[in-house]
Chains A and B, each alone.
Chain A
Amino acid sequence: MNANNNGKNLSDRDIELLVGRLLRTGVITASCIVLLGGILFLIQHGSAPMPSYHHFNGEDSSFTTFGGIISSTLQFNAKGIVQFGVMVLIATPVLRIALSLLGFALEKDKLYVIITTIVLCVMLFSTIGGLKL
């Protein structure tokens, strides 16, 4: 609990607090964006009949690519805004890894800088590695 059990834990503790704050901020921000987009979506399409989700059709590219989501958000497209919130939500744990990397670097913990970099690379690989089949 308290940071004075030994010197090493002092910076560990700071990182923990920072990570905790980042996670909470990320989730709250994402939820607010999703809520905003969702309300807008219901106002515009609420009375339309429910589409069939029984068969997979896939979303079009304005809701699956980074550029597409950003541009439909800027056009105030309700689904685009929800998808933007979804992106913020997915980005939250990725940012957490980046923050941990910075923390381990400041602590000069080489082993964990390497370990964290590996995890970050896997995440980047799945984001931009052309996994869209």
Chain B
Amino acid sequence: MTILTFTIILLVGAYLAGLVGSLTGLGGGVVVIPLLTLVFHVDIRYAIGAALLASIANSSGAASAYVKEGITNIRLGMFLEIATTVGAVIGALLAVYTPTNTIAILFGCILLFSAAMTLRKKNQVALTEGSKTSEFLKLNGSYPTPAGPVDYKLKNVGAGFSIMTLAGILSGLLGIGSGALKVLAMDSTMHIPFKVSTTTSNFMIGVTAAASAVVYLQRGYMDPAIAFPVVLGVLGGAFTGARLLKKLDPKVLRYIFCAAIVFVAAEMMYNGFQHKF
């Protein structure tokens, strides 16, 4: 295969990954890694490097729109980024000492968890009573809805912070945005309305991924020939996905994609156990 053919196939694959990622809310990186490792037999660490870049591009692109709409809670994001960036650096350091097969198996587990999370019931209720910590850290806020601004408060800040550290570690280790874990921390633990938690999670992914991306770049895991089609493809796919989301109800699609992701996760885990990485 020539470089040109490889680039074109990868560009199309990354485009589809970005599309699927944005329609399911899983993010493009999650789909890029199986594509690179299972289809192209690329070393998983190169795949992680490329996926981190895709996550940064995706997150920054989408976050710019949400921030403008005033849904994102910037203070909450900033505070929790302490946890995710520290975690991401730890994760990127751990990645050197972790066998690639273990990374693949772990990735499969996270993929299954993420698929389950996209199908869960979403938290729509805004808390009216917040904890003292949330008050002190000025984390409570309001967000615009068609019916006017809604105030919300939050609790379990400590528990949320801990889950965020874990999300950061996994992000650095596996090269994913860990969006599902971030939403678990904010939505289920801290009781933040899902619109705020998904947009704030998206806002944080760029910073989290950048913290470990630097480490991967310095270690030589960012290959320009892979990075270039992956970044452009995923961005293009995410852009199309965002437009499609406005026109169609992704509910049915979500079920189909989740089934597909379960299959991919099983494949990653099987290959991991068979030491094929």
Q: Give the interface of A toward B (CB within 8 A).
A: 1, 5, 12-13, 15-17, 19-21, 23-24, 26-27, 30-31, 34-35, 37-38, 41-42, 45-51, 53-60, 63-65, 78-80, 82-83, 85-87, 89-94, 96-97, 100, 109, 111-112, 115-116, 118-119, 122-123, 125-127, 131-133
Contact = CB atoms under 8 A, between A and B. Distances in A.
Contacts, number: 217
B231 A37 contact: no
A87 B222 CA distance: 10
B81 interface: yes
Nearest to A82: B224
Interface string B201-221: 000001101111111011111
Contact of B227 (A42, A51, A82): A82
Interface of B: 1-7, 40-43, 45-46, 53, 56-57, 59-61, 63-65, 67-70, 72, 74-75, 78-79, 81-82, 85-86, 88-89, 92-93, 96, 137-138, 142, 144, 149, 206-207, 209-215, 217-229, 231-232, 235
B214 A127 contact: yes
For the residues of A in contact with B, the DSSP-based class is helix
B64 A20 contact: yes
Given A50-B6, A53-B43, A86-B222, A126 B92 contact: yes
A106 B43 CA distance: 46
A94 B231 CA distance: 18
A97 B63 CA distance: 14
B219 A64 contact: yes
A27 B65 CA distance: 12
Contacts of A82: 224-225, 227-228
Contacts of B60: 23-24, 26-27, 89, 92-93, 96
A78 B65 CA distance: 32
A8 B231 CA distance: 38
7 contacts: A16-B70, A51-B225, A86-B231, A94-B207, A97-B207, A127-B214, A133-B219
